[in-house]
Amino acid sequence: MTPADLSVTVLRAVRRAVDEGALPQGVAVPERVVVERPRVGGCGDWATNAALRLARDAGMAPLAVAEVLSAALRGEPGIGRVDVTGPGFLNFTVGGVGSGVAAAVREVGVRGMRYGFGEGMQGEDVELVHGGGVRERVYAEAVRGLLAAQGADVRVREGEDVSVVVRGAHYDPRGLGADACQWALLRPAAGDRVLDGPPLLVQGESNPLFVVRYAHARARALARNAAEWGFTGEWAGDEIGGARLGGLIVEYPGVLEAAARLRAPDRVARALEAVADALLDFQHGVLPMGEEKPSAAHRSRLALAEAAGTVLAGGLALLGVSAPDHL
């Protein structure tokens, strides 16, 4: 179960508790709840402060609200355990080792490059106004794509009453080519200096842009090589390694939503770098070695690697960067 899945499940439990009278009728059900890694003192795989947010509206102690919600959430598919910690945090242990990764891999298979897109900002009307500079235009378009991916209605225009404030480019990066230009302008945070051009043209591990695109190409190559072995990716079990890579894929929808809300494309770029590094570390066990025959573990590893490749392709597309299958 992914954080996005848990968020929807918690909201459903809140509505049910209000409808059934376990929470007062006057409680306003929020549009979304934040699900994140447990803080110090927490436990399990994920946690939310939903009970603390609802307590004042409900006229109840946060712990009491948490107990109501935990009772409503126990037994939900994909949730193995619900614990209440601290002043009223709900802590979730997903149903079985790696089940969150399994759900995420399957969701990537269904949604493809739209994995991580959501409806958390549906109904929000946003106008982005930029000053017309090279970086401002590119940044505004990237933010537009991130907001639209979360359901917002977005307009972009050039004007004096700017809402897109970024540090200007100290050189014209368009001479680098489309992909390196986009990365040079979007990888730094809005207030940071644009990346220097020459390092982005290096075809090696010192260039994070190359590493991200190379990792995507490797994922596609693994799928082609597996086809020659006569097998395809299919999640069949949890004991395959790749915990770091799987965790990053699970967290990716939250990264996209945070990047949209904070108007921060650099968060997506950093997430892609982390996925690429984890995939390149993981890739060596995907295919059979020597006389080894393809097994369920190989199919699961391939499914995870393919999911990572899809995440890389989708994230690069949001940043306006191409993701070639061969590099």
Digit-coded pLDDT (tens) for 214-270? 999 999 999 999 999 999 999 886 667 888 898 889 889 888 988 999 999 999 999
User: In this model, does residue 125 exceed pLDDT 80?
Assistant: yes
Q: Which residue has the higher pLDDT, 80 or 326?
A: 326
C-alpha span between 56 and 28 (Å, rounded): 11
Cα atoms in the 13 Å half-sphere on the side-chain side of 165: 5
Give the tokens for residue 281: 């570390």
User: Helices 265-282 and 208-229: crossing angle, nearest 10°?
Assistant: 40
Work out the mean pLDDT of the chain and round it to a whole number.
92
CB 263 within 8 A of CB 12: no
Q: Are 103 and 1 in contact (CB under 8 A)?
A: yes
Q: Which long-range contacts (CB under 8 A, 24 or more apart) does 310-313 make?
A: 310/108, 310/112, 310/113, 310/115, 310/219, 311/108, 311/115, 311/116, 311/249, 311/252, 311/272, 311/275, 312/212, 312/213, 312/215, 312/216, 312/219, 312/272, 312/275, 312/276, 312/279, 313/113, 313/216
Report d(CA 33, CA 64) in Å as an integer. 18
Give the 3-state secondary structure of residue 76: coil
pLDDT (0 to 100) of residue 93: 85
Q: What's the CA gap between 149 and 88, in Å, rounded?
A: 32
Amino acid at 85: T
Strand-strand pairing, 153-158 and 125-130: parallel
What integer pLDDT is reported at residue 119 of this predicted model? Answer: 85
CA 308 – CA 271 distance, rounded (Å):
11
The torsion region of residue 177 among left (phi > 0), alpha (psi -120 to 50) and beta comes to left
Q: Given the DSSP bridges, would you call strands 46-48 and 125-130 parallel, antiparallel or unpaired?
A: unpaired
pLDDT in tens, 99-124: 678 888 999 999 999 999 988 888 89
Mean pLDDT for 2-18 is 86
Residue 217 confidence (pLDDT): 98
pLDDT band at 97 (very low <50, low <70, confident <90, very high): very low
CA dist., res. 246 & res. 250, Å (int)? 6
For a pLDDT cut of 70, what percent of the chain falls above it?
97
pLDDT: is 30 or 303 the higher one? 303
Report the percentage of the chain scoring pLDDT > 90.
71
Distance, in Å, from the CA atom of 14 to the CA atom of 72, rounded to the nearest integer, reads 8
Question: Which amino acid, residue 319?
Answer: L
What the block records as the tokens of 325 is 């299958």
- Tokens 């049910």 found at: 16
Q: Check: CB of residue 231 under 8 Å from CB of residue 298.
A: yes
- What pTM does this model have? 0.75
